[in-house]
Structure 1
Amino acid sequence: MNNSAISKEINGFIISVQNSPSKRCGTTQHVFVFKLKSHWHALEVTLACEGQTCKAHKMVLSACSPYFKALLEENPSKHPIIILKDVSYIHLQAILEFMYAGEVNVSQEQLPAFLKTADRLKVKGLAETPSSIKREG
């Protein structure tokens, strides 16, 4: 199995394209990995809920959520603070982990509430869209 990677620096970001065998179907998939060269200065957004805060990148939030994309476009600010009402801090941390890593572990008992939060925030890959809702009957 041959894993190859191509990396290029663009505007302070290191973008790597990795070819790796898919664990699910044995085919090659292209995995895009974004790494910040100096990531601490680029954490432009503060997300607040339950009296605690997390930092994130505008680019990541916008790419992963139409909700955050619209919010950030409608309210341009260098370092916005977004206060999330009725969002659990634990769920926010898990959603950010999903956005950055592409996967997250959530306990069975937390899963329904976590998915409801992800749906409200329109997180791609976690939120249901009208075309993906299946009717049973």
Structure 2
Amino acid sequence: MNQAQFALAWSQYKKNICNGLSSLQQNGEFVDMTLAADGHFVKVHQVVMALASPFIKQLISSANCPHPIIFLNKISNATLCSILEYIYTGEVLLTLENFDEFIEAGRELHIQGLENMKSQSHKVGSTEDTVADDINEVCYFEVPSQSMDEDQTELDFENTIVSGDTKDIRIMVQNVYDDDIAEESLENDENLSFSQDVAHNSIETSAKPIDTKNVRVMQYTVSNQGSLQMILNRFLYYLKHTNRNNTRQWRCVDYVSGVKCPAHVITKDDIVIQRISAHTHPFHDKKILKKVRAGAIFSAIQEAEIEGTSMRKKTENNTQIDTE
């Protein structure tokens, strides 16, 4: 004899879950991930961000650590607040002047519902995946954040990722090397008090292909003299050589110091294909944060090259003026 079954439905389930997650995020409860944008840190939940963006999900998976930190370049803190409201509640109120910036940031981060959104004559659709029709008010969602002061270098960074452009960048670079790499690497003693151990999840002890699944977790910067550098998993590398097949060999900047760090990385088309040897020193967090504050972090290698060329020209011009 079949027993009677009853279906129970929670009518306020979706509203309760959305409001609950938003409240947990704003109160900093059970957060396990940090987003850095426009000089501010915002703590969020990995599972929520992973559901909202397959791209961010891949970044989190590649970090393989309890509390990853992702730097979002070219995204303002206000835009990040709007994106988080959209992710946590499913809707957001925007001013018309901020609409395009919001959509562009959503596409860059591959946020579901925003990645393929198109606006027509400033008219926004009223579907579930679009922003609300009323765009005459400013975003009211408050996201707790803290300024990136000097003391922020003491944050417990389990791992740091600088978000990168997902477009393929194919460009040949010159084999640039200069003495200022040694000058920068001598600052390594400062980092001893900041990072006590080298994280095992950030290195490989032997040369082997890395399954990156087309995830770009590296970012680019330049040295004080304008030479190209790469940031990967909280370490800085300088460009040692570019092969004819467009593969690039990068060495740790501490190779030329007394540390003689043997770690180096091979990339092709902005994808890591090999990591060789382990780092023998702490992370380069302080150096990287200085470059972040200086606005010298780039998602595309071409942008870093342009900045490096500009710096070298300025140095040459200053040298000519001094000799005159």
Could you tell me the TM-score, scaled by structure 1's length? 0.68
Task: Give the counterpart letter for 1:85 in structure 2.
Answer: N
SS at match of 1:85: coil
2:106 matches 1:101 = no
- CA distance in structure 1 between the partners assigned to 2:54 and 2:95 by the alignment: 26
- Residue equivalent to 2:17: 33
Q: Find the partner of 1:84 among 72, 87, 92.
A: 72
- CA distance in structure 1 between the partners assigned to 2:108 and 2:67 by the alignment: 23
- CA distance in structure 2 between the partners assigned to 1:112 and 1:74 by the alignment: 30
- Residue equivalent to 1:5: 10
RMSD: 2.4
2:110 matches 1:122 = yes
Q: Which runs of 4+ in 1 moved over 3 A?
A: 38-41
- Residue equivalent to 1:113: 101
Say how many residue pairs are matched.
Answer: 105
Per-residue displacement from partner, 1:25-50 (whole Å, max 9, x unpaired)? Answer: xxxxxx682536x9444101110011
Per-residue displacement from partner, 1:107-128 (whole Å, max 9, x unpaired)? Answer: 1011011100000001111111
Task: Give the counterpart letter for 2:113 in structure 1.
Answer: G
| Identity across matched positions, percent | 30
Task: Give the counterpart letter for 2:87 in structure 1.
Answer: M
Q: Please show how residues 48-59 of structure 1 align to structure 2 within 5 Å.
A: 48-59=36-47
Task: Give the counterpart letter for 2:10 in structure 1.
Answer: A
SS at match of 1:33: helix
Task: Give the counterpart letter for 1:5 in structure 2.
Answer: W
- Residue equivalent to 1:44: 32
- CA distance in structure 2 between the partners assigned to 1:72 and 1:47 by the alignment: 12
Per-residue displacement from partner, 1:69-122 (whole Å, max 9, x unpaired)? Answer: 010011111111111111111111100011111100111011011100000001
- CA distance in structure 2 between the partners assigned to 1:118 and 1:62 by the alignment: 14
- CA distance in structure 2 between the partners assigned to 1:74 and 1:32 by the alignment: 32
Greater radius of gyration (CA): 2
Could you tell me the TM-score, scaled by structure 2's length? 0.30
Where does the alignment leave 5 or more consecutive residues of structure 1 unmatched? 7-15, 19-30, 133-137
2:17 matches 1:17 = no
- CA distance in structure 1 between the partners assigned to 2:53 and 2:75 by the alignment: 15
SS at match of 2:112: coil
Quote the offset at 1:17 in angstroms: 3.1
Where does the alignment leave 5 or more consecutive residues of structure 2 unmatched? 1-8, 119-324
- CA distance in structure 2 between the partners assigned to 1:65 and 1:93 by the alignment: 16
